[in-house]
Amino acid sequence: MSPAARSTSNATPPPTRRAQHRAATIEDIKQAALDAIAAEGAGSLTIRGIARSIGMSPAGLYRYVDGLDDLITHLLADACNDHTDAVVAASRHGSPVERMRAAILAYRRWALENPNRFLLIFGTPIPGYTPPQQGPAAEAAHRMTQVFLAIVVEGTRAGALVPPRSTRPAEPGEVALVAAAAPGFPPEAIGPFLGAWAHFHGMVTLEILHHLDEVYPDAETFYRAEVERLIEAWLPDAGSAAPRG
């Protein structure tokens, strides 16, 4: 058999019309749920309301999702993955410092472009819904941590970044995170790493919820200045600063 024939025989067959229809219907269901979240908040989601909005019976909708919790879990996974993909795409190239800056700026940019999805991930818990500890949503959420941690670890090993000093011993959870995701990285640096993340994440959340509007009608200048301050704390010449608890 020629290479071309083998390539053709091993190719994945195109999806059937039925599979295409199913995939398109699932996307319609997800979009209807996102529209409902944008209009009335995540707490307003119901299978009946989503089904009605796309001209389907509630019983018919259960042919595509296993229930409201299953739908929310997939919406969370999609949002987390899209957010992470945006951060990855923006921070592929450059020095560790340049990649860190690009990643943090992309984190905010995606959130401003997708505020309802950002708040679905990080906002008020949805009444009656508990995110599963394993599965697509949990795996998607872990990806973002891995992306930022990989940049910090790479920069630390290259000497381009130096974790701010911590005066407390590492917590067991910090040790476990390092063992699982960044062997050899100092566990005492996980606290400053997560603290920096909490800083820029908190600014994004305040901006999306309009808590900065009165002081910063356009918060980008404020955000960029704070990002530079965060990055400066991780530069080698910041090592002479006072220890941080």
| Distance (Å, whole) CA 197 – CA 244 | 16
2 token code pair: 């020629």
Domains for the chain: give ranges and CATH numbers.
15-65 (1.10.10.60), 69-240 (1.10.357.10)
Confidence (pLDDT) at 241: 45
Q: Are 34 and 61 in contact (CB under 8 A)?
A: no
State the first-to-last Cα distance of the chain, in angstroms, to the nearest integer: 67
pLDDT category of residue 245 using cuts at 50, 70 and 90 = very low
Answering whether pTM is above 0.95, one says no
Residues 142-170 have pLDDT tens digits of: 999 999 999 999 999 999 999 988 888 99
| Distance (Å, whole) CA 241 – CA 85 | 34
Residue 166 — φ and ψ, nearest 5°?
A: -120, 140
Handedness of CA 175, 180, 184, 190 (dihedral sign): negative
| Distance (Å, whole) CA 103 – CA 88 | 7
Confidence (pLDDT) at 238: 64
Confidence (pLDDT) at 9: 54
27 token code pair: 């996307």
For residues 27-34, average pLDDT: 92
Largest CA distance in the chain: 71
| Measured CA distances, 119 to 32, 61, 126 (Å) | 17, 25, 11
- 143-73-53 Cα angle (round to 5): 130
Q: Are 208 and 112 in contact (CB under 8 A)?
A: yes
Residues 69-87 have pLDDT tens digits of: 999 999 999 999 999 999 9
Confidence (pLDDT) at 213: 94
The residues, any chain, with a CB within 8 Å of residue 97's CB and separated by 6 or more, are: 155, 160, 161, 231, 235
Residues 200-231 have pLDDT tens digits of: 999 999 999 999 999 998 899 999 999 999 99
